[in-house]
């Protein structure tokens, strides 16, 4: 990783936990010795954002898992970047494959959400990634470049954006892209940023990997030149999350 790019580890708790279990997890995290050169963000369910921010040590940032494209209004069930900020939360995950493929969010909607969150000053973990049939058809690059373009068109300030490459076929399946497979896509994404945004943005933007990252796989993944961290699902609810945070030690 370039010295300009601070290693970044996000934990996506998804639709999991209650006050008791998350309280226990938070105690474990607060007591954990973590590399202070790594930026760590915990993605709590929206109903527990306030709880997580109040209980988690200041060394951890908190992220929402989604938000809407406007500040307020008649949008039952949604939350806005303004509300996220109001409870002291500083990040949001947008475009996660589950939002795309379970809830049908389009590239266009994700782009609009990215634009609004950044306007409100919230950091965005923007997710991209191909499905298994797309990888097998040899269109991985086409898919991830199209998704990245829809995000990039809506970004003015790249310093608040982390790109998360998550091959959909590796999420929750126990299949992990090999470090070489992941590195190859990360390298191509960085080249895309250089060509389509700027060389400076390509050098400074963190591109993190997500897809069944565990304590066992994290060190080799972290050693790849263009992998700047992780977005962790299931393992972020376990004590091994601390090992993953420290993958770059």
Q: Which of 105, 130, 166, 186 is catalytic?
A: 166
Fold for 7-248, please state it: TIM Barrel (3.20.20)
Average pLDDT per 10 consecutive residues for the chain, totaling 249 residues: 83 98 98 96 98 98 98 98 98 98 98 98 98 94 98 98 95 85 97 98 97 93 97 96 94
Q: Are 44 and 10 in contact (CB under 8 A)?
A: no
For residues 148 and 140, what is the distance between their CA atoms, to the nearest angstrom?
Answer: 12
Q: What is the pLDDT of residue 177?
A: 87
Residues 98, 88 contacting (CB under 8 angstroms)? no
C-alpha–C-alpha distance, residues 134 and 188, integer Å = 17
The pTM of the full predicted model, rounded to 2 decimals, is 0.97
Q: Is 57 helix (H, G, I), strand (E, B) or coil?
A: coil
What's the pLDDT score for residue 3? 61
Instruction: Confirm whether 166 is a catalytic residue.
Output: yes
User: Cα separation of 102 and 104, whole Å?
Assistant: 6
Question: Domain residues of the chain, as ranges?
Answer: 7-248
Catalytic-residue membership of 96: yes
Active-site entry in 39, 96, 98, 116: 96
Residue 45: what pLDDT?
Answer: 98
């Amino acid at each position: 990783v370039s010295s300009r790019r601070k290693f970044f580890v996000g934990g996506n708790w998804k639709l999991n936990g209650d006050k008791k279990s998350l309280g226990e997890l938070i105690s474990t995290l607060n007591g954990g010795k973590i590399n202070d050169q790594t930026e760590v963000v915990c993605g709590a369910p929206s109903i527990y954002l306030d709880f997580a921010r109040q209980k988690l040590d200041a060394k951890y940032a908190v992220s929402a898992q989604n938000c809407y494209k406007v500040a307020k209004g008649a949008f039952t069930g949604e939350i806005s970047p303004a509300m996220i900020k109001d409870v002291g939360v500083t990040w949001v995950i947008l475009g996660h494959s589950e939002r795309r493929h379970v809830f049908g969010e389009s590239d266009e909607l994700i782009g609009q959400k990215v634009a609004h969150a950044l306007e409100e000053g919230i950091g965005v973990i923007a997710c991209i990634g191909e499905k298994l049939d797309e990888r097998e058809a040899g269109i991985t690059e086409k898919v991830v470049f199209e998704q990245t373009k829809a995000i990039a068109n809506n970004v003015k300030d790249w310093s608040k954006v982390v790109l998360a490459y998550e091959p959909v076929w590796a999420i929750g399946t126990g299949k992990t892209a090999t470090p070489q497979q992941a590195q190859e896509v990360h390298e191509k994404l960085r080249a895309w940023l250089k060509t389509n945004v700027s060389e400076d943005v390509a050098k400074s933007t963190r591109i993190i990997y997500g897809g069944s990252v565990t304590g066992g796989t994290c060190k080799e993944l972290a050693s790849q030149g263009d992998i700047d961290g992780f977005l962790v699902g299931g393992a972020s609810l376990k004590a091994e999350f601390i090992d993953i945070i420290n993958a770059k030690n």
